[in-house]
Structure formats: structure tokens, C-alpha cells
Amino acid sequence: MGFSDKDRILVANLYIFKGYGAKKLIKEFPNKGWGLRGLNKLSEKLREKLVRRQDEAAAFDHKLHESTTTLTLSCFYICNIHTQTGYYKKGISR
């Protein structure tokens, strides 16, 4: 028997947030008619999707860190050049 959209959402939430496995889901919801093999396949797909999203998030964090570092170094370099050339003068000259 296939899983409806509501069933998929229920299984995903219980799997992710409560750590339910296939056997526990069958014991909790015996009237749904879910099979052990179908729930195992669904949980495997969820696990793959979660790992893929974690990898994408880690890659995004790495890119964000690189761009922040580049921006910081650029600002430091520009500020350093301006202070060496006397672009910014200390105090007010009258």
C-alpha cells in the first residue's frame, strides 16, 4: 500500500524529531496498513535527503566564510593604504 502525503509528513516528523523507526511506527499505527519494507524505504529516502541538505548547508557556510574573509581582508587593505598615504588626517587643521 502506498503512502499518502499526510502519511509521508507524519512519518518524516516522527522519524526526524522523535527517532521513530519502522517497527515502532507499525506498533503505534497498526490500522494504517503500512509494511515494514515500505517504511524502511521511506526512512532511507528521508535519511539521504537529510544528509544531502546538511552537505549543501556546509558548502554554503564554507562559501560564506570565504567571502567574509575576502571582504574583511579587502577592507583591511584599503584602510591600511589610506592610513599610509595620509588620506585620513588625525585632528582638525585650522
Q: Could you tell me the residue ranges of all domains in the chain?
A: 5-84
Count Cβ neighbours within 10 Å for each residue of 37-57 and write b for 16 or more, e otherwise: ebbeebbeeeeeeeeeeeeee
The answer to whether the CB of 11 falls within 8 A of the CB of 25 is: yes
Rounded-to-integer distance, Cα 21 and Cα 4, Å: 18
Rounded-to-integer distance, Cα 7 and Cα 34, Å: 10
The CA–CA distances, whole Å, from 34 to 11, 24, 29, 38, 46 equal 11, 11, 8, 7, 17
What is the reported pLDDT for 83?
56
pLDDT tens-digit readout, 46-72: 888 888 887 777 776 666 666 565 655
* Residues of the chain below pLDDT 50: none
What is the reported pLDDT for 9?
87
What is the reported pLDDT for 63?
65
What is the reported pLDDT for 80?
57
What is the reported pLDDT for 30?
92
pTM of the model: 0.55
What is the reported pLDDT for 37?
94
